[in-house]
Amino acid sequence: MERKTEVNAENGKQELVITREFDLPLELLFKAYTEPGIIEQWMGTKVLKLENKKHGIYQFETSDAQGNVVFRANGVIPEFVPNQKITRTFEMENTPFSVQLEFLEFEKLTDSTSKLTMQSVFKSVELRDQLLKLPFAKGINMAHNRLQEIVGKLK
């Protein structure tokens, strides 16, 4: 079975590796990570700051429908090599999560396909496992909210 996005989180290791092959030339895949307007579209987050260079910094911010900021992340970029790699720290502000280190590697497969390997290194195995469970917890929350909405209408 074809699974385009793979997540590899080995037991007991404080890292996870996400890989994905794209039907996109390498340059376009890299562009999706460096153009603020494009990042905003696919990540669904606002790019407050992004310096695409060695020792640059970045800051992302996500708001809910009411305009309240629900998520803010920032980091520094120790390595930036166009069409090859971006190494960056990733910190979610106002959360118990410690800073992560992300290694993004961009590879050309053919003229029209490319591959991304994203290795995230965490402070501890426990923090990694907690992060993996976030979307699951969020999914439960959303289902719960929807339920409340429906019940609210019944009143």
What is the closest distance, in whole angstroms, from the C-beta atom of residue 48 to other proteins in the complex?
19
Question: Helix or strand or coil: residue 24?
Answer: coil
Residues 31-70 that bind other proteins (CB under 8 A): 31-32, 38, 41-43
Gyration radius of the chain over CA positions: 18
Among 14, 17, 22, 46, contact with other proteins (rule: CB under 8 A) = 22
- Confirm or reject binding of residue 127 to other proteins (CB under 8 A): no
- Binding residues for other proteins, rule CB under 8 A, total 31
Residues 70-109 that bind other proteins (CB under 8 A): none
Residue 33: both structure tokens together: 């990570």
Full DSSP string of 35-51: -HHHHHHHH-SEEEEE-
Q: How far apart are CA 117 and CA 108, in angstroms?
A: 12
Q: Could you tell me if 135 and 143 are in contact, meaning their C-beta atoms sit under 8 angstroms apart?
A: no
What is the closest distance, in whole angstroms, from the C-beta atom of residue 130 to other proteins in the complex?
11
Task: Choose the stretch contacting other proteins; rule: CB under 8 A; options: 14-22, 49-57, 58-66, 71-79.
Answer: 14-22
